[in-house]
Amino acid sequence: KIFIQYGSFTVHVGLPDGPPSETDALDVMEAHHLMEWSAGAFLIATGMQVGELTLNLTMLNEQPPLASLEENQELDEVTFRPNGTALVVIGFDMSEPVSEVLPHSATGLYRARLIATGRETDASDPSETYSLEFWPVADLEPRRTERVRHRP
């Protein structure tokens, strides 16, 4: 569980490439994306502005199959190249190192798949869960999104 404020949290992978730009933060908030890779971190947009959510991280050695999404789920998947394999989750006023690291990638490229469940901006009692999976890939692949809703 992590506490968020301002409708987002970050997952740092490896060493930072510099500070994230304000443009990237605005892009993920305004576009039909759940996450944006910038400066060694994923900025992840949530439905709720303030509250506690569940984040599940999974490290895999190969691409997992994709089951059909449920009605309240959204998917965003991107290829990225980190400067390291250690992960740190950052919520509001906290930083939590993750005990697992990315598996080896011969090319240095990885794929990240984020599935958001229950991402609602108008829920009176929000309950959001985020599943973030990582695995090595051989080549760059296009971004894949499914059913990602715009967040006002």
Query: What Å distances lie between residue 49 and 9, 18, 30, 144, CA to CA?
Result: 10, 26, 14, 25
Q: How far, in Å, CA of 77 to CA of 128, rounded?
A: 18
Q: How confident is the model at residue 122 (pLDDT cuts 50, 70, 90)?
A: low
Per-residue model confidence as pLDDT tens digits over 41-75? 899 988 888 888 999 999 999 999 988 999 999 99
**pLDDT for residue 143:** 94
pLDDT at 138: 96
Nearest to 42 by CA among 59, 24, 30: 24
pTM: 0.87
